[in-house]
Structure 1
Amino acid sequence: MNANHPEIKIRKAVAADSEKLWLLMKELAVFENYIESFVITPDIILESGFKKSPPDFYAIVAEDGDSLVGMLVYYFLPYTAQNRPSIYLKELFVDTNYRGQKIGEQLMNALRIEAEHNNCAQIKWTVAPWNESGKKFYERLGANENTEWLNYEWNISK
């Protein structure tokens, strides 16, 4: 439970959350400075995350009454060298008014349980190099920076 907001509920997202999930994704795009390339819509979230089978992504949310105040978006990497799946954490965001109240930690713990239930070998993610508070948060949880691999991307434009 959360001391400042005891009614915070951590749960898996459902289709009815699509609009509110989109608002949090949009806030994250502003925070991480990619809002100019953000093309996600509530309809895309509904279709890709809830109507498609299997879905492109899954989400865990933090709910305060009728509002979503945090989200964690992830997907599975089914094939790994360990012959066990991994989870890739794509997005973690907590509304600025709710930070410092262990909501991010609760979301990460829910993801850890999800990983254990799915026999995952690990959870992977990336952090922007400028996001010092994010790096400290993950280190507090016991995560380690992987310095053995470099991230590359190949942008394909139409």
Structure 2
Amino acid sequence: MNITIRKAEEKDSEQLWQLMKELAVFEKYINSFAITPEIVRNSGFKKNPPDFHCIVAEDSDKIAGMLVYYYHPYTAQNKPAIYMKELYVDENYRGQKMGEQLMNALKNEAKENNCSQIKWTVAPWNEAGQRFYERLGANENKEWLNYEWNI
């Protein structure tokens, strides 16, 4: 196995969509999953600026992991921040440090773009995810509550 970590390209759209769909099953929101390969292609690669950015872990020609993120251009620190929306590794590739490699690539991206923080959420039932993030040195933010307004 020869894993390459790189920024996603338009040609990856179909495989990214497949991983996004697998994540929707894993996180139990597949019934509301409305993403298509065309949406991935148009929103992430044809739109300028794109709605999201993505880093992938590739094994030969197979995308085995993805990290989807976007920028918050302004924060109280007068620096941008990155919001990580999705991190997912194909179950056949788990336990091989691929998630850690993707997170480190995002950390490098944040440093290159003068970001002050990387933020994300994790489901309370996803204890393995919580342990993974804590092992990397991330801290749970207990100062803020997440709200959403479905429209």
TM-score calculated relative to the size of structure 2: 0.99
Cross-structure match for 2:54:
59
Cross-structure match for 2:112:
117
Cross-structure match for 1:91:
86
Cross-structure match for 1:14:
9
Amino acid at match of 1:42: P
Q: State how far apart, in whole Å, the 1-side matches of 2:125 and 2:73 are.
A: 30
Cross-structure match for 2:29:
34
User: In the comparison of the two structures, how many residue pairs are matched?
Assistant: 151
Write the deviation string for residues 136-155 of structure 1: whole angstroms up to 9, x where unpaired. 00000000000000000000
Amino acid at match of 1:24: L
Q: State how far apart, in whole Å, the 1-side matches of 2:89 and 2:59 are.
A: 12
After TM superposition, list the pairs within 5 Å mapping 1:117-156 onto structure 2. 117-156=112-151
RMSD across aligned C-alpha pairs, in angstroms? Answer: 0.4
Which consecutive residues of structure 2, in runs of 5 or more, have no partner in the other structure? none
Write the deviation string for residues 54-109 of structure 1: whole angstroms up to 9, x where unpaired. 00000000001111000000000001100000000000000001000000000000
- Is 2:31 the counterpart of 1:24? no
TM-score calculated relative to the size of structure 1: 0.95
Which consecutive residues of structure 1, in runs of 5 or more, have no partner in the other structure? none
- Superposition deviation, residue 45 in structure 1: 0.5
**Residue identity (%):** 74
Secondary structure of 2:38's counterpart equals: helix
